[in-house]
Amino acid sequence: MSQLDRRGFLRFAGVVGLTLPTGIALASCSSGSEATGATGEVSATNPFGVAADSKVDAVIFDGGYGVDYVENAGKILGGTQDGVSVQVTASTQIATQMQPRFVAGNPPDLLDNSGADKIADSALFEQVDDLTEVVDAVNLEGTAIRETLYDGMLNDTTVNGKLVAINYCLTLYGIWYSASLFEEKGWSVPTTWAEILELGAQAKAEDLYLFGWGKEAADYYLTLAIDSAIVEGGHDVRIALGNLAADCWSLPAVQAVLTAMGEAVAAGYFRPGGAGTQFTAAQAQWSQAKEFVLYPSGSWIENEMKEQTADDFQMTGFPAPPATASSVLPATAVHASAGEPFFVPTKAKNKAGGKELLRTMLSKEAATAFAEAKLASTIVKGTVPEDGFGSTALVSQTKMIEAAGADAFSHTFKDLYGFGPDMLVLWNSFLAGDSSVADLTKKMQDLTDAVREDDSITKVEVK
Amino acid sequence: MARRRQLDLDRASLLVVFLLVPFALYAVMVLWPFAQAVTYSLTSWSGFSPDKPFVGLDNYTELLGDATFLKAVRNSLLLLLILPVVTLGIAFAFAVLVTVGGPSAGGVRGVRGSAFYRVISFFPYVIPAIVVGLVWAQVYDPNNGLLNGVLTNVGADGFEAYAWLGEKRTAMAATIGVAVWGMVGFYMVLFIAAIQGIDHEVLEAARLDGAGRFRVARSIIAPYLSGSVRAAYIYIGIFALDCFVYVQALNSTGGPDNSTLVITQQIYTTAFTKADFGKACAMGVVLALITFAFVGLLRLARLATKAGRA
């Protein structure tokens, strides 16, 4: 090649080779641009000043509850705010789909961050608006939203004083069973772990298992253990666990529950093979085949297993029981929290629209429509009639939360610090009978200690 | 010597189309992401914010003390060790059977029905890996799975409700079995093509000299195929280090006691569920280094054998 040729070649290569990547680098640096968006006039009926004829971009997790409830609220919103339209995007891959949008600085106006592929909530805390103004606003019927909600529904998402998200769907955690089966066998609902073990023996006599589990959901038993320990030992236990205290898994209340569970495992009360069974298949062994009698889960279970529940199953729940009859909290205390966290990202183009959509969802009309369609309650009180729209599970939820009153509690440290995947492994081994209570305790403590000692992880103080 | 040609339109367009455009694509799609991943691995970027705080080598030092990650590395290395040997071994045996394993009278040919075997053994490779994984997850199901159904029917009652993917003893082996099942057909077809490239006279001469099928396979086919085997080994080795699809379909949570957790799965969870892209990038860099080391070792081994022969 002649000199000229080579130089021309190099120059050309340099231009192509260098400009393309820098172009991309520049594009990815433009993420700092401020998104203000047009705002309309703030008024009593338009508390956040959403602009007329604006579009609201909502990304909604398409899981057990679908996305139609947000579309429905969007229709209501279209009627109350001039020409505002809501564009709902359904997603089951929230983290992977939203990651580039957050980095590029054009996140949606409203995000329902849920499902297996959700963004770790803690990654969003700094990037979302404080939603206190939404709960302080009045709903479409004119009542302050804060007053229409069940007690304590905002605790989980209040992080160091900031309301980072609003969980929309009321979720009660407990143990679920078939009321018709219990009636047929003449069993009564256990109120302590000692009674659960007795029930295990009775079930075994009938060739039934007491419990069962699926490999992706072994940690439902962790939630059950935590709930039972809190009822047994009171709020001190909740605070110790939530603040990742040293030796928190060795507290007497926690150990009493874990020991009872270990006895159930050793006595063969668990349906074998759970560590290799897909979790909905395992749940069908309970709700369809009735091979085991109790299943710990959240109240989404009825909706999740709708297609795979035996006729006249009469799915009913009761709160996680304490270890003994002399527990600190009454046996009616229930783990009540809310699921489906809705975030309004700070950099969203139409934040006012996102908040207005959330306000609409929290109003009576949309919340009642949700309860009726999904057979589950939102965090808005009084949207479920006596007959629970014909659902025994929904009726038992209302009963549980009313019976608990001020003794409802919740905890979030498991999801907050991302313990899920690591704990799951431990619980699969424990429930399969491969590790002892002492093993389990030590390994859970190791995980907890590691997070507590890691200064790069922002802690949320539990009170 | 011929006069050097000037850079005319013809030559310039050739350069652009066959060299610069591919190079630019390569730079943007491969080299640039590599550089980005290395840069991110030195930050504590969550993946969801514009801030990328620089933390130096912290991510790497944390990885060295991270028992779960080290377990994932061990599992990936185990796959790298076992998967290629088993897959290529079976593929080689099958390839020999359908090409030269036939009757000893008449011309050298495969066993009867070899065309049929060739087609059906390629089938699993045609099915997308994720489907293979999901199908096998059902086959392995403890209570309703085909495998335990067959085993308990023939009287092996010990397999009643046995969790193949849920027991530490069998989870990895069961996973490897699925990967082998899915890949053997492809390598078999590769080896068949290579065997068909061997001059038939060589094979026939060997047979006239009294060499049996096993001897032919060992002393004639194996040396002729060494190039293909080496290429296949690199290819399947890199696949074994990835292996994301199969393990994710069979045990998305890492398996009992993390016995089937591999590096790529750990990268995925760290990035997307733990929102720690910085550390995930560091894991990616470690995986890339392992891959380079693997390919480098194979090349060294090849140089050594060449030198040994000379």
Note the pLDDT of residue A153: 87
How many angstroms away from the CA of A449 is the closest CA of chain B? 14
Kindly report the nearest CA distance between residue A270 and chain B, in angstroms. Answer: 12
Asked if B50 lies within 8 A of A105 by C-beta distance, the reply is: yes
- pLDDT for residue A36 is more than 60: no
Q: Among partner residues A5, A16, A215, which is closest to B253 by beta-carbon distance? A: A215
SS3 content of chain A, % helix, strand, coil (to 5): 50, 15, 35
pLDDT at A38: 55
Q: Look at residue B222 and give its three-state secondary structure.
A: helix
Q: Which residues of chain B are within 8 Å of residue A5 when distances are taken between CB atoms?
A: 6-7
Residue A17: closest C-alpha in chain B: B24
The nearest alpha carbon in chain A to B62 belongs to A454
Closest CA to A67 of A374, A307, A272, A317: A374
A428–B256 CB contact, under 8 Å: yes
Per-residue pLDDT averaged across A337-364, rounded? 93
B50 contacts A103? CB cut-off 8 A: yes
Burial zone of A265 (CB within 10 Å; 0-12 exposed, 13-18 middle, 19+ buried): buried
Contact A333, A39 (CB under 8 A): no
Q: Largest alpha-carbon pair distance within chain B? A: 83
Rounded Cα–Cα distance for residues A333 and A403 (Å): 8
Please tell me the predicted confidence (pLDDT) of residue B200.
85
Query: For residues A433 and A266, is the Cβ–Cβ distance under 8 A?
Result: yes
Q: Say yes or no to pLDDT of A303 above 90.
A: no
Lowest mean pLDDT among A457-461, B64-68, B138-142, B262-266: A457-461
Residue B254's pLDDT is 86
| A241 has pLDDT over 70 | yes
Q: What percent of chain B has pLDDT over 90?
A: 53
Q: Do B162 and A119 touch (CB under 8 A)?
A: no
Measure in Å the smallest separation between the Cα of A187 and chain B Cα atoms. Answer: 27
Residue A121 and residue A99: Cα distance in Å, rounded? 13
Contact flag A274-B163 (C-beta cutoff 8 Å): yes
Of A1, A124, A421, the CB nearest to B269: A421
Tell me the pLDDT of chain A averaged across its residues.
Answer: 87
What average pLDDT does this structure show over B58-79? 94
Confidence of residue A74 (pLDDT cuts 50, 70, 90): very high
Question: Which residue in B21, B38, B46 has the most chain A C-beta atoms within 10 A of its own C-beta, making it the best mutation to test that interface?
Answer: B46
- Scored b (16 or more CB within 10 A) or e, B95-133 reads bbbbbbbbeeeeebebeeebeebbeebeebbeeebeebb
pLDDT of residue B309: 67
* 8 A C-beta contact, residue B87 and residue B184: yes
Whether B167 sits inside 8 A of A275 (CB atoms) is yes
Query: Which residues of chain B make contact with A4, given a CB cutoff of 8 A?
Result: 7
Nearest-by-Cβ selection for A272 from B161, B273, B274: B161
Partners of A85 in beta bridges? A55
Q: What are the residues whose beta carbons fall under 8 Å from the beta carbon of A221, sequence distance 6 or more? A: A211, A213, A261, A296, A427, A430, A431
CATH of B67-309, one of 3.40.50.11540, 1.10.3720.10, 2.130.10.10, 3.30.70.60: 1.10.3720.10
Chains A, B: CB pairs < 8 Å: 135
Given this model, what pLDDT does residue A4 score? 38
B102 touches chain A (CB under 8 A): no
Distance from C-alpha of B80 to C-alpha of B82, rounded to nearest angstrom: 6
β-strand partners of A292 = A209
Q: pLDDT band at A115, cuts 50/70/90? A: confident
Collapsing DSSP to helix, strand or coil, A20 comes out as helix
What CATH superfamily is the domain A172-334+409-453?
Periplasmic binding protein-like II (3.40.190.10)
Which residues lie closer than 8 Å to A33 by C-beta, 6 or more apart?
A105
Tell me whether B275 touches chain A (CB under 8 Å). yes
For residue A281, which of A229, A227, A213 has the smallest C-alpha distance? A213
> What CATH number belongs to A55-164+338-398?
3.40.190.10
Per residue in A83-101, pLDDT (tens digit) is 899 999 999 889 889 988 9
Tell me which chain A residues have a C-beta less than 8 angstroms from the C-beta of B28: 20-21, 24
Distance separating alpha carbons of residues A412 and A389, to the nearest angstrom: 30
A contacts of B165 (beta carbons < 8 Å): 215, 275-276
Confidence band, pLDDT 50/70/90 cuts, at residue B114: confident
Share of chain A above pLDDT 90, in %: 61
Mean pLDDT of the B71-96 span: 95
The answer to whether the beta carbons of residues A288 and A311 sit under 8 Å apart is no
Which residue is it, tokens 């082998």? B180
For residue range B129-154, what is the model confidence (pLDDT) as tens digits? Answer: 999 999 999 999 988 889 999 998 88
Residue B151, min C-alpha distance to chain A (Å): 15
User: What is the greatest pairwise CA distance in chain A?
Assistant: 98
Averaged pLDDT for residues B31-59: 91
Q: Which residue has the higher pLDDT, B8 or A148?
A: A148
With bands split at pLDDT 50, 70 and 90, how would you rate the model's confidence at A367?
Answer: very high
Residue B66 pLDDT more than 80?
yes
Using alpha carbons, select from A180, A186, A171 the residue that is nearest to residue A319.
Answer: A171
Q: What letter does residue B229 receive in the DSSP assignment?
A: H
CA A117 to chain centre: 12
**A420 — pLDDT class (breaks 50, 70, 90):** confident
d(CA A193, CA B56): 50
A164 compared with A419, residue with greater pLDDT:
A164
CB A350 within 8 A of CB A54: yes
Other C-beta atoms closer than 10 Å to the C-beta of A194 total: 16
DSSP for B13-27 reads HHHIIIIIHHHHHHI
Distance of alpha carbon A77 from alpha carbon A85, whole angstroms: 8
* DSSP of A241-282: HHTT-TTGGGSHHHHHHHHHHHHHHHTT-BPTTGGGS-HHHH
Q: Which of A95, A126, A281 sits opposite B272 (nearest CB)?
A: A95
Angstroms from B91 CA to nearest CA on chain A: 29
Amino acid, single-letter form, for residue B259? S
Does the structure show a pLDDT above 80 at B238? yes
Put residue A350 in one of left, alpha, beta given phi > 0 → left and psi -120 to 50 → alpha: beta
Over residues B91-113, mean pLDDT: 82
Q: Which residue of A has its CA nearest to B148?
A: A273
**A329 pLDDT higher than 90:** yes
Q: Which residue has the tokens 């949008």?
A: A101
A282 to chain B, closest Cα gap in Å: 9
- Torsion region of B3: left, alpha or beta (phi above 0 gives left; psi -120 to 50 gives alpha): beta
Taking chain A, what is the end-to-end CA distance rounded to the nearest angstrom? 76
Of A120, A70, A116, A118, the closest CA to residue A90 belongs to A70
For residues A19 and A16, give the distance between their C-alpha atoms in angstroms, rounded to a whole number.
Answer: 6
For B21, nearest residue in chain A (alpha carbons):
A16
Question: Smallest CA–CA separation between B120 and chain A, in Å?
Answer: 29
Residue of B295, B90, B298 lying closest to B183 (CA atoms): B90
Q: A378, A385, A344, A343: which is closest to A364 by C-alpha?
A: A378
**CB contacts, 8 Å: A13 with chain B:** 20, 23
Residues of chain A contacting residue B142, judged by C-beta atoms under 8 Å apart: 272-274, 276-277
Which residue in chain B has the smallest CA separation from A99?
B48
The minimal CB distance from A24 to the residues B32, B49, B164 is found for B32
Interface subset of B 4-43, CB within 8 angstroms of A = 4, 6-7, 15, 20, 23-24, 27-28, 32
Read off the amino acid at residue B121: S
- Which residue do the tokens 């900031």 mark? A162
Q: Is B176 an 8 Å CB contact of chain A?
A: no
Residue among B141, B144, B257 whose CB faces A425 most closely: B257
**Which residue of B134, B260, B273, B276 to mutate against A (max A Cβ within 10 Å)?**
B273
The letter for the amino acid at A139 is N
CA distance A361 to A74: 8
Is the pLDDT higher at A258 or at A385?
A258
Q: What is the average pLDDT score of chain B?
A: 89
Q: With bands split at pLDDT 50, 70 and 90, how would you rate the model's confidence at A14?
A: very low
Query: Does residue B167 belong to the interface with chain A, where contact is any CB pair within 8 Å?
Result: yes
From chain B, pick out residues whose CB is under 8 angstroms from the CB of A98: 48
Residue spans per domain, chain A: 55-164+338-398, 172-334+409-453
Of A32, A124, A428, the CB nearest to B48: A124
User: pLDDT at residue B256 above 60?
Assistant: yes
> Which residues, 6+ apart, have CB-to-CB distance to B125 below 8 Å?
B182, B183, B185, B186
pLDDT of residue B233 exceeding 70: yes
pLDDT digits (tens, 9 = 90+) for B158-204: 888 888 998 888 999 999 999 999 999 999 999 999 998 898 888 88
Task: Single out the residue of A342, A288, A36, A123 nearest to residue B279, CA to CA.
Answer: A123
Shortest CA distance to A124 belongs to which of A158, A165, A90, A87? Answer: A165
How does residue A388 score in pLDDT terms, banded at 50, 70 and 90? confident
* Contact of A98 with A59, CB cutoff 8 Å: yes
Residue tagged 């054998």 (tokens): B305
What is the nearest CA distance from A238 to chain B, expressed in angstroms?
23
pLDDT given for residue A1 in this prediction: 34
Q: Return the residue of B nearest to A216 by Cα.
A: B253
